[in-house]
Amino acid sequence: DADVTQTPRNRITKTGKRIMLECSQTKGHDRMYWYRQDPGLGLRLIYYSFDVKDINKGEISDGYSVSRQAQAKFSLSLESAIPNQTALYFCATQGRHPGELFFGEGSRLTVL
Amino acid sequence: AQSVAQPEDQVNVAEGNPLTVKCTYSVSGNPYLFWYVQYPNRGLQFLLKYITGDNLVKGSYGFEAEFNKSQTSFHLKKPSALVSDSALYFCAVRASGSARQLTFGSGTQLTVLP
């Protein structure tokens, strides 16, 4: 089983719909991250969390919200999806070594 | 502010030849530098890092990278490329002692030709 699991892996939705992407991890890490990948732009940080009570905005948080339900679970929500949120979304965790991230397999979201 | 530039979107190399994937960075203070690899339909995987010490860093799968402070570069290298090295490679940086998180480059697609 994967250490960092994302669901769903693929999702097609319509403009205006609410979408939740879920992430769970078995690595026991406190730090969790949500990134967005777009071709030619690399990865951009949406939100990150250092523990259940600590949520921080990344560089592109507008239009997104997150929930850290437990140490192992970190969800990303799009309250009202729009087409330019079509992207590949990654969840990641970080252990003791700064910058060494462990990524999930990604969730591909298409907003029509 | 911190930033990373990967000047080549695509690098092609013949199998058995040496490969280089370029990365330059900008950061206030001392950098922590990283390389990640992404295979098709997979998440990113950590390859190697420079924190301090020896400028030549060795990582997974025979890859290495050289930190050059004067040129603000951290190029990824491998002496002999394999077809299985074909993937998307990302360089990333963060400032040491900073609360800022990693900044990733735009990625370089490496294709190793048989």
Residue A1's pLDDT is what?
Answer: 59
User: With bands split at pLDDT 50, 70 and 90, how would you rate the model's confidence at B61?
Assistant: very high
pLDDT tops 80 at residue B98 = no
Cβ contact A43–B101 (<8 Å): no
Residue ranges of E strands in chain A: 4-7, 10-13, 19-25, 31-38, 42-51, 54-57, 65-70, 73-78, 87-94, 101-103, 107-111
Rounded mean pLDDT, B9-29: 96
pLDDT tops 90 at residue B10 = yes
Residue B1's pLDDT is what?
Answer: 80
Rounded mean pLDDT, B90-114: 90
Mean predicted lDDT score pLDDT of chain B: 94
Residue in B43, B92, B104 nearest the CB of A104: B43
CB atoms < 10 A from the CB of A8, how many? 12
Residue A50's pLDDT is what?
Answer: 93
pLDDT tops 70 at residue B82 = yes
Report the residue of A54, A101, A108 to disrupt the B interface, i.e. the one with the largest count of B CBs within 10 Å.
A101
* Nearest residue on chain B to A91, alpha-carbon basis: B43
- For chain B, give the percent of residues with pLDDT over 90: 83
Lookup result for tokens 């190029």: B75
Residue in B43, B90, B104 nearest the CB of A105: B43
CA distances from B61 to B23, B52, B67, B105 (A): 19, 21, 19, 21
Cβ contact B43–A44 (<8 Å): no
Close Cβ partners of A11 (under 8 Å, ≥ 6 residues apart)? A19, A21, A107, A108, A109, A110
Cβ contact B101–A90 (<8 Å): no
Rounded mean pLDDT, B68-73: 96
Cβ contact A90–B107 (<8 Å): no
Q: Which residues pair with A39 in a beta bridge?
A: none
CA distance A106 to chain B (A): 6
Instruction: Find residues 17-46 of chain A whose CB sits inside 8 Å of chain B.
Output: 33, 35, 40-45
Cβ contact A103–B104 (<8 Å): no
CA distance A85 to chain B (A): 18
Residue B18's pLDDT is what?
Answer: 97
Cis geometry, peptide bond prior to residue A83 (ω within 30 degrees of 0):
no
Report the residue of B3, B44, B52 to disrupt the A interface, i.e. the one with the largest count of A CBs within 10 Å.
B44
Cα-Cα-Cα-Cα dihedral of A43, B34, B5, B55, to 10°? Answer: 180
Tell whether B102 is within 8 A of chain A (Cβ): yes
Tens digit of pLDDT per residue, chain A (112 long)? 569 999 999 999 999 999 999 999 999 999 999 999 998 889 999 999 999 999 999 999 999 999 999 999 999 999 999 999 999 999 999 988 888 999 999 999 999 9
d(CA A81, CA A18): 6
Residue B52's pLDDT is what?
Answer: 87
d(CA A53, CA B111): 43
